[in-house]
Structure 1
Amino acid sequence: MKRTVLLLTVLSFLTLPALAIGQTPSDHSQHAMPPPQGDHGTMPMMNKQTIMLGEQTIEGVKGMAHLNDVGAVMAQMGKKENYHFMVMFSDAKTGAAIEQGTVAVKITDPKTGQTGEAIPLMGMGGHFGVDVSLLAKGEYQFQVGSKLADGSKRQFTFHYTLK
């Protein structure tokens, strides 16, 4: 448990530069750059909260997913995205992090029951992530498709109820 909390703390700090520059899922060109100086670089992360979605092991790979509430910060920048969805992968036997591969998420809307198009996740120093809009109350389903470094395709499913 302590290891998981420490990992989440470190990962939260790793996402701050990406959130501070206000990127959208279609603009990830600045992820490798240091955080900008000035107003956006010092913007407080108010009401940010990590929500654990759980973990699953599929064919020797453990996937652990989380949401970070970034709505207040994104709203200040005029963005509609209000959560940062992230998933981390590790070898189930050794615990070694898996950071190479292609990952996407399909989100099922609780109001309509419709599953949206696949949204690519970007490798972000220890996890794959993307900013998403979760606007309706109800249970969301996150279908995470992956093709990691070993070339195998795996699908993980996570749920979150927005109250």
Structure 2
Amino acid sequence: MKKVNALLAALFLLSLPLAAGAMEGMKHDKMEKMEHGSMEGMKHEGMKMEGMIMLGEGTEEGVKAMAHLNDVKEAMAKMGMKETHHFMVAFVDAAGKPVTEGTVAVKIKNPAGKEGKAIKLMGMEGHFGADIVLPEKGEYHFKVGTKLADGQKREYHFHHTVE
């Protein structure tokens, strides 16, 4: 399990330069150069690295989901963007093989109990993810709905408290 989590964290970190390049092409005039090459400040503290939060895992119909949040508020603010976190979820089948094909979306319920519209997650080198806004302090609930390559619908639940 620790190997899978370490692999997911490594894949995410490797995808940051690609995501930065894609964002630069979309909002070149508003962006400042992001320094993703530096790994200073990354601390391994169990399942949490600085900025990376493991939300948990769940298994539905033989497919395990592992969800993470990455705090990107500071980097996004420098680019004039409002997103505060990158939500990501990776899936593995019963044999431990990554599941990377299908449709995935998340609905976020804010601390006041209001659920937002579904946000489609994009496939990103081993996980599905999207940049999201968690503007208030309090507990957020994430309802992840999937229709993966096998055509079966699954639903997973995670939560996180913003302090």
Bin of the TM-score, shorter chain as denominator length: 0.7 to 0.9
Alignment of 1:8-157 (within 5 A): 8-21=8-21, 23=23, 40=33, 42=35, 49-91=51-93, 93-110=94-111, 112-157=112-157
Q: How far off its partner does 1:7 sit?
A: 1.1
Consecutive unaligned residues of structure 2, counting only runs of 5 or more, are 27-31, 42-49
Q: Contact 1:22/1:74 (CA < 8 Å) preserved in 2?
A: no
Structure 1 residues without counterparts, runs of 5 or longer: 24-28, 31-38
TM-score by length of 2: 0.82
Identity of aligned residues (%): 53
Aligned amino acid, residue 55 of structure 2: L
Structure 1 residue 153: deviation in Å?
0.4
- Give TM-score scaled by structure 1 length: 0.82
Q: How far has the Cα of 1:150 moved from its partner?
A: 0.1
Contact in 2 for aligned 1:46/1:72 (Cα 8 Å): no
- Please state how far the C-alpha of 1:46 moved relative to its aligned partner: 8.4
Task: Give the letter for the 2:85 counterpart.
Answer: Y
Secondary structure class of the residue paired with 1:73: helix
1:106-134 deviation digits (Å, cap 9, x = unpaired): 00011x31100000000001000000010
Give 1:81's aligned amino acid: E
Per-residue CA shift, 1:32-82, capped at 9, x if unaligned?
A: xxxxxxx63645688751100000000000000000011111011000001
C-alpha deviation, 1:6, in angstroms: 2.3
Match of 2:46 in 1: none
C-alpha RMSD of the superposition:
2.4
| Structure 1 residue ranges (4+ consecutive) displaced by more than 3 angstroms after TM superposition | 41-48
CA drift at 1:20: 1.9
Paired with 1:22 and 1:71, the residues of 2 have a C-alpha distance of 18
